[in-house]
Structure 1
Amino acid sequence: MSGGAMTTVIDESTFRQVLSRWPSGVGIVTTAGEEGWHGMTASSFSSVSLAPPLVLVCLDQGIRSHDLLIRNGVFAVNVLGRDHLALGRRFAGMEPGVTDRFAAGDWLPGATGSPVLTDSAAWVDCRVLHRYPGGDHSIFLGEVVAAGVPRITSPLLFHSRSWGQLADPLPDRVDLADTGLTDAVAAPHTARLTHALRRAGVRVRLTSLDGAGTAGAGAAGMSCSSVHVDNASAAVAAAEAGCPAVELTVAPDGTGGEAVHAVRAVNGAGHPDTLVVARIRDALRPGAARAGLLTVQRLAAAGCGEIVLEEPAEGHDDADGASPLALRRLLQDAIPAAGPVPLRLALRDDHGLGLVNALTGMKSGVRCFDTALGGHGGLLATERLVLLCSRMGVAAPLDIAAVRALRAELGVLRRQPPAAPAPCSPARAAASRGPESQ
């Protein structure tokens, strides 16, 4: 082989195919001037510098937008969310007969006068600082004078000449919380199952501090457990009794309810390490998505350690089983809204959709699930989710053999007659009522 330079001829079709394999976000580049507003869909957008804040866009020299940016000297880039597909196609000229592209969407003039999409995933408003030649395109370097993130949502993507959304990687592992065990059989018989699940790393939710497996109120006795309480005072009492996690159920009303008060109360009582878990009931109910998202944002901002989205129970007016498509759409907004706070799903299997929705949740970014051995109370059965995980190479706290043995033991215990309840100690009774009742 000679040492001279290699000359390679690349035809335009091949080059386009190569570039199409690079996924990118989608934005609408807008500008304003004497000729009014103008905009076009573009994906050639990139950040350049943080200090000073600089971005660039690349525009074909043969299109009208290119000349308008030169004359106007300003532009805005509006990053599109996953629900802006129609708007992206509109500004790409893919809808014949459209004479006013800005008739769709809610637009306002930005600091430079360039139109800004009020419900975009993000936007930057810029002055043209420099223009550089780039073959048949020009590179416009913009100085950012204003920017915003109107809402948290997943982005619209462009790949292989088609529009899409984020890829769906499966998690390496999932975490489980059993929220039905202590209701499945009489309390005195659940100790072995409770301790076995705890040792495996499954958190067991107790209905009170008197529940099964709570021998000793210290942290060791409550390891890997949570207790459900009704108010902030009871949450403080549980934290002082050594429970590492407390759970409160709130409505999807956008406020966060008693869970917000519980976070403040538990932290104020000197227990910042106690995990406050907020459960949003009926969060997967059709029509509750917007209020549920507002509630997720409120709970995350308040400092909740986990947020659980509950599917409505059978018998609820809207309990037809959560649609996998609707669940995916909800999670694509709920996970960014929660930020670093983990989301858990409490799925039901009344209509046979539990495993489908669990897989949808995993591929959407959920790593934590509420389950119940034997599917008690209509919840997704622990053994079914563990089996699904094993078939897909996703690690779970329990292996198949262990969960089957626990399921068999549960079946035996459920056939035993209930025992008389053990007397409650005054200390535990006071803790379950909360300080305000003492």
Structure 2
Amino acid sequence: MATDGETFRAVLAQWPSGVVIVTTGAGDGWHGMTASSFSSVSLDPPMVLICLARDTRTHRLVSEHGAFAVSILGRDQAAIGRRFAGRGEAADRFAGARWEPGPTGSPVLADSIGWLDCRVEHAYPGGDHTIFVGEVLAAATPRRVAPVLFHSRTWSRLADPLPDRITVADIGLLAALRARDASGATLAGAARMLRAAGTRVRLFDGYGEPPPPEDLDPATASALITDPAQVTTVAEAGVGVAEFAVGDSADGAAPILEAARRAGLTTVGYLPDAFAPEHTGRTLTAAARLAELGCDEIGLRDGPQPATPVRVRDLLQDACAAAEPAAVRVALRERRGIGLVNALVAMKSGVRHFDTTLGGVDGALPAEDVLMLAGQLDVASAVDRDTLIAGAARLDLLPVHTCGFAS
């Protein structure tokens, strides 16, 4: 007696598989669907098989066209897989990604981790599916990253390798010292110490006047601005990085981006409370739009309470893809060590740039803790942690430390 369908599906769900998009080109356009029933068949000649449900449009069109393509999804392309697994219009599924026709006319995903363009050689019945065997006419591996996986009805992926190197910026120390009514000499000394350590430092955030040019290194000096008119001011002061917070619409940042581009400044757009589940759609849409507008870096800021590691992983999986070609930065919060766990998750999700505050004085992840973590993982950084520790001691910041890594 055959097993019941529910048990059968539950068992199959325990088998982890890669995810591919099966596509075909027909007279009325391109069509495709997400599939995991895909396998190699032969090396000589090169042949693969796919299994398609007989009641799908893609099944009908592959049969009519006599050809199909398979695009293997990378770890950052789960959103594409979800889109092709839905029931939306065919044209909408292809929007937002770069597809190109293969030799058979079937579209292939240009930045997939691998694609095959095939001519149907055999079609065998298999219950409610058809097994299509195709001879591979063309193939490519556009890039090499870990694949996206599907297991137990959940999108997942292999553990990613750690980065070779990270960068660390301090975006909160000077503001925290100003809030304590620190003297101008203390502020200037702190800025010089951060610069000597090799960090990018936010020198100007709307309080008072930017430091004089002789205290600045454009490559490591940033300013938080709110108006395009401020771009000229900070550029003339020698600041090389213009940072801004994104409001309700990323399009509102266009004037700042244009002014910064004319001034030759690097641009960083920050998305507030980016890891909140209710903000996922807004965050991904804004990240993609900022990248389209030419923003160099996109910063994802944690909310008042640290996000969970699972939440950080899930968002970054899609955000790093949405932000391309812009680099993604994260500004994480620290509470009982969760910030360091999130930093590790971020590194393994493809993030190389971390916004911190020396000593964690404003609740942000401490710079020295991120560097300690990186060192223990054999991840390099140009920032000198010893210089930061000495500076934190002089500024009496070490008691604020939460993780005990200062010693």
Superposition TM-score, scaled by structure 2 size: 0.67
Following superposition, the deviation at residue 291 of structure 1 comes to 0.6
Residue 106 of structure 1 is matched in structure 2 by: 87
Structure 2 unmatched runs, 5+: 1-16, 41-45, 108-116, 124-130, 139-145, 401-407
Q: Answer with 1 or 2: which has the greater Rg.
A: 1
Who is 1:296 aligned against?
287
1:190 Cα deviation (Å)? 2.9
**1:82 maps to which of 49, 57, 78:** 78
Residue of structure 1 aligned with 2:381, choices 396, 407, 411:
396
Deviation at 1:386, TM superposition (A): 1.2
Could you say if the C-alpha distance between residues 233 and 25 of structure 1 is closer, same or farther in structure 2, counting changes exceeding 3 Å?
Answer: same
Given the superposition, is the C-alpha separation of residues 388 and 68 from structure 1 closer, same or farther in structure 2, using an over 3 Å criterion? same
Residue 290 of structure 2 is aligned to residue 307 of structure 1:
no
- Do the aligned residues in 1 keep the contact of 2:24 with 2:65 (CA within 8 Å)? no
C-alpha distance in 2, partners of 1:279/1:38?
A: 35
Residues 344, 366 of structure 1: 8 Å contact kept: yes
Alignment of 1:414-433 (within 5 A): none
Q: Which residue of 2 is the match for residue 362 of structure 1? A: 347
1:263 pairs with one of 241, 257, 262: 257
- Choose between structure 1 and 2: higher strand proportion: 2
> 2:239 corresponds to which letter in structure 1?
C
User: Does the 8 A contact of 1:130 with 1:140 survive in 2?
Assistant: yes
After superposition, the Cα gap between the structure-2 partners of 1:108 and 1:142, relative to the gap in structure 1 and judged at 3 Å, is: farther
The answer (yes or no) to whether the contact 2:291–2:326 under 8 Å persists in 1 is yes
Instruction: Report the secondary structure of 1:27's partner residue.
Output: strand
Quick check: 2:175–2:205 contact (8 Å CA) kept in 1? Answer: no
For residues 59 and 216 of structure 1, do their structure 2 counterparts lie closer, same or farther at Cα, with a shift above 3 Å needed? closer
Deviation, structure 1 residue 297:
1.2
| CA deviation string 1:110-141 (max 9, x = no partner) | 7xxxxx9568978777399855589x984245
TM-score by length of 1: 0.63
Residues 196 and 31 of structure 1: is their aligned pair in 2 closer, same or farther, counting only changes over 3 Å? closer
Q: Which residue of 1 aligns with 2:266?
A: 275
Q: 2:200 aligns with which of 189, 198, 203?
A: 203
Partner of 1:244: 240
Native 8 Å contact 1:201 1:397 kept in 2: yes
The answer to whether the 8 Å contact 1:175/1:396 transfers is yes
Q: Distance in 2 between matches of 1:189 and 1:71?
A: 74
Alignment map for 1:86-165 (pairs within 5 Å): 105-108=86-89, 126=106, 130-132=119-121, 138-140=133-135, 156-157=148-149, 164-165=156-157
Determine the C-alpha separation between the residues in 2 that align with 1:378 and 1:173: 25
Deviation, 1:302, is 1.2
Q: Among 199, 220, 225, which residue is 2:221 paired with?
A: 225
> Do 2:193 and 2:388's aligned partners in 1 also have CA atoms closer than 8 Å?
no
How large is the Cα RMSD of the aligned pairs?
4.6
Q: Quick check: 1:131–1:141 contact (8 Å CA) kept in 2?
A: no
Distance of 2:186 and 2:274 partners within structure 1: 33
- 1:180 is aligned with what amino acid? G
Contact 1:209 1:238 in 2 (8 A): no
Cα contact 2:204–2:210 (8 A) shared by 1: no
Query: Letter of the aligned partner of 1:311 in structure 2?
Result: D
1:132/1:413 CA distance change after superposition, 3 Å: closer
Distance 1:374 1:355 in 2: 14
List alignment gaps of at least 5 residues for structure 1: 1-22, 46-54, 89-103, 111-115, 144-153, 314-319, 416-438
Q: 1:218-254, CA deviations, whole angstroms, 9 ceiling, x for partnerless residues?
A: 8x55551111121111122211332111211122x34
Which residue of the partner structure matches residue 325 of structure 1?
310
Tell me how far apart the structure 1 counterparts of residues 313 and 276 of structure 2 sit (CA, whole Å): 13
- Matched to 2:172, the amino acid is G
Counterpart code for 2:258: R
- Residue 334 of structure 2 corresponds to residue 340 of structure 1: no
Q: Which residue number corresponds to residue 9 of structure 1?
A: none
Secondary structure of the corresponding residue to residue 260 of structure 2? helix
Deviation of the 1:284 alpha carbon: 1.9
**Cα pair distance change 1:28/1:345, threshold 3 Å:** same
Per-residue CA distance 1:377-420 (angstroms, 9 max, x = gap): 111111211111111111123344333212211207999xxxxx
